Amino acid sequence: MTVFDPYGDPSRALRIALGALLLAAVVATAGAFAADPESAAPSPVAYDDAVELGLSSETDALMAGSARVPRTQVFYSQLQYVVGYNGVESFAATLGDGRTERQFGYPIAAYVETFDDARPGTTETGLFESTFAGEWTPAAEAVYVVGSDARSPAGETVVPFRTREAAEAFAADHGGRAVGWEAVRSRSYDTDSAATVRSMAPERWDAADERIAAAERRADRPVSVVVGEDAPTVEAAVAAAPANTTVVVPPGTYEETLTVNESVTIAGEDARISGDGDGSVITVRAPDVALTGLSVDGSGGQTRDPEAAREGREGGGGSGESDAGEVWDTNIQLGYGHGDAGIRAVDAPGLVVDDVTVEANASGLLLREGSHAVVRGLRVDGTAEWQDGFMGITGMQSRVTVTDSRFEGGRDGIYLHRADGSVVRNSTFADNRYGTHLMYTGDALLADNAFRNELFAGITVMTRPSGNAIVGNDVRNSSAGVQASGTRTYVGYNTLVDNELGFSTSSRGSLYERNVAADNELGARATTVVPSSRVVANDFVGNAEHAAAGAGALRVWADGDRGNYWEGANVGVHEPGERAYRPTSPVDGALHREVAAVAVRESPAVALLDRLRGTVPGARSGSVIDPAPASAPYSPDRIDAALDPGAGAVHADWRAELDGRSGDGDGDAAMNARDRNATSGGIDPRAKRNGSTTPAAPVAPATSPTPATTEGPGDA
């Protein structure tokens, strides 16, 4: 990148900066938004044409039938997209939070889905339902029932009606009271949020401890059969063993395959079971089986079964989503779930795998049809080329708890598909395509793992699940550190070093905090078109580029007066934290690399350009601003350790901090109190809640044409 010499020709710098100003004006013209605030209020659009926020679209599949989440669509003055909120309370929570108006402008029109003629009610489990979709009504004209027994997977549901008569009739049947829009926007709502997920992360760790302790008790059984003494083969010994006893496998290599149909423990002592290269080596078809102290090799190399997928589609298998999604999902569940493995479990809940090594030609451990498992001390050595192998662990509709394990080579270290509630912790991944890869999997904990040399990413979460916590991981020398889609995700205390990308903010209504992004080509990337997450208290150090943003509205990465630490942000004549920092600006983005950029940053032309970016939507799009950059790193010790080549993996003591047993006084409690994730909401109606609420703030009516906020110097 060319930088400017502060001791050179000042007029040249001015001409270039003014040229940038004119270029930005051209871009602004091209970035016109759909709704003109000077014209009449726009009419509602088809909801599919809106950019969806609020509950995940996965909610539809979980709720099923006629259960619904009342929807809202909003036109903003400085946003070229119509924003659709799943849940009236999701939109109401954004009013007055400051961040939404700064990014999108003020709402010039808002419509809610009303249910006067849709036969509204509740399901047996209390979810709001209606026979038909509602009709669009201006938000200020609708009448709302609050405090009723109608719920959504996120918590309380506000139910809108066109007329007070219909609202009061619903309240008479389901409780609550009918109120106007003013009362709705001033209420607090008991809904799940990313802060809820943060508070639950230590509980998930403790739950994993309990699962592991229970697994140890299940595996500890009296010996009934010893291979070589009481039976000639492992398969014969397993067939002869009574339920709830142990089969001992002495040292040696046993060339056989076996199927376990009883709840027994198979305990090896330096024992290897070697298959014939066709199919799976050990197949488990009984509950509460334990495999300990074994080495396994010689499985077949079939990574999926196209015939199983074809039969499943013809038989109507799948997850009940759209046709295209159903075909894809069926192919994954039936195809991937029917490949070869060192150990395969089918309808075998309570499986224990402890101190086991698998040399995998396809999957190391394959779990299918509710084969919930506890895995400790598993090592899977996959193929040298990821295209030739498959997963270290493949979990299909099976919750897995993994600790103290290692996965090298092959396609993905761990692949989980509809495996809600899984925990992967204290494990090492190296030379995979993805280290840990979640699909349709929510309410999981991925914590304190180390990832090295991952071709695509250390941690990847796809297909918009909800409630995942990704905490305390260390990812290095990979294409990406953490890429998590979905909603209500907590990404915190991760150490991301020497990657092409540290992390992306691709999960909606989520919280990214206390991550260290150091020496990456790109520290972080804003990827959602309409931002709805908080990015705060992260440390960006030594990255070639601290942050980048794709198409979309201005992203404000701060929480009130608490921003992120950006190396280079506080250079210049301003006091630390007094000047906003724009990591996506060519000038600000060069401050930590080129001292000469400071002179350009202080120039009048750049000041004018900053004001243009703050007032013209086209110039704001695709940009990030931190109005309160921190003057010092939040985690200096972790940064020092991360940049020490001999330090190894770096993990924060996040459990102590999140549990409140210790703290650094940086305002985490205050941040909990201020949590205002506009799209907070879970997708599992059974999820635990901690009673957190979203603070309310009185604001001007949604249709009030208040002036747009500018983002020029001094507006921090």
pLDDT, greater one: 675 or 211: 211
pLDDT for the residue 69: 87
On the CB side of 716, CA atoms within 13 Å amount to 23
What phi and psi, each to the nearest 5 degrees, are found at residue 139? -60, -40
Sign of CA dihedral 37, 38, 41, 44: negative
Tokens of 636: 């200096």
Band of the pLDDT at 657, cuts 50, 70, 90?
A: very high
Q: Which residue has the tokens 């849940």?
A: 87
Task: Say if residue 206's pLDDT is above 50.
Answer: yes
**What tens digit of pLDDT does each residue of 60-110 get?**
455 556 788 899 999 998 888 899 988 898 888 888 777 788 788 889 999
**What tens digit of pLDDT does each residue of 390-426 get?**
999 999 999 999 999 999 999 999 999 999 999 999 9
Task: Say if residue 174's pLDDT is above 60.
Answer: yes
Report d(CA 32, CA 289) in Å as an integer: 62
pLDDT > 90 fraction of the chain, expressed in percent and rounded? 56
Tokens of 283: 């197949």
Band of the pLDDT at 684, cuts 50, 70, 90?
A: very low
Beta-carbon count within 10 A of 47 CB: 17
Q: 527 near 593, Cβ under 8 Å?
A: no
pLDDT for the residue 476: 97
pLDDT for the residue 539: 98
Give me the residue spans of the domains in the chain: 47-193
Alpha-helical runs (H) found in 573-649:
597-601, 604-615, 617-620, 636-642
Report d(CA 678, CA 89) in Å as an integer: 9
Helices vs. strands in the chain: H and E counts, helices first: 16, 50
Report d(CA 125, CA 114) in Å as an integer: 22
Closest CA to 364 of 413, 401, 397: 413
Task: Say if residue 282's pLDDT is above 80.
Answer: yes
**What tens digit of pLDDT does each residue of 488-540 get?**
899 999 999 999 999 999 998 899 999 999 999 999 999 887 788 899 999 99
pLDDT for the residue 5: 33
pLDDT > 70 fraction of the chain, expressed in percent and rounded? 77
pLDDT for the residue 180: 96
- For range 177-186, the mean pLDDT: 93
State the average pLDDT for the chain: 82
pLDDT, greater one: 98 or 234: 234
**What tens digit of pLDDT does each residue of 107-140 get?**
999 999 999 998 899 988 888 999 888 899 999 9
Give the range with max mean pLDDT: 54-68, 302-316, 649-663, 700-714: 649-663
pLDDT for the residue 709: 31
